Structure 1
């Protein structure tokens, strides 16, 4: 379930049953999906023995990379090449490009996991754009 469903369940549960109602309503919304994914994950390892299943997962990886690249291109088009520039100065854009190249280099040289890349990117973004904004 998405954040809207969880927030709504928590809100309604709290209004009807206080803290315990909020906890039970939230569990009622989140737990079924969590258990289903847990069961599926348990059986996926058995299916990874099959070459076609592994190839399918590789295809899914390629699609995810393509979708992320499409989002990046869309953001570039709207923010840099669109009518209104979100980036007011060249230093801001140059820093972003340097951070992108740094993270890209980490991906290919260190073979870091996606979670590690997201955490590193978030920390770099917080440091360079949040704590020390240009």
Structure 2
């Protein structure tokens, strides 16, 4: 059985991408985790909970079905015929690599904030 699902959890929403479900590839859930600062809570509340889980509605936006390779070929053809930079040019690739390297470094350092080289990210 093939499974091609990615789940991205954030503090406000949870996104689920299911590549094998053409009728609902993307689902956005109003789910998250609220972390209260100990300063915001009274003594009694602090003992009870610092983290609360939130669950709410789900939205599945309609996405246009397109074949990925065809979309990329059309984009490059547009860039060539209009003599404008492609959306996914070498600079874009460099930005993606820098982001991935920063994410890997942050993970290796326990989730620390990594400053990006803003000169390359523009």
Q: What is the TM-score with the length of structure 1 in the denominator?
A: 0.31
Bigger strand share:
2
Q: What is the TM-score with the length of structure 2 in the denominator?
A: 0.33
Bigger helix share:
1
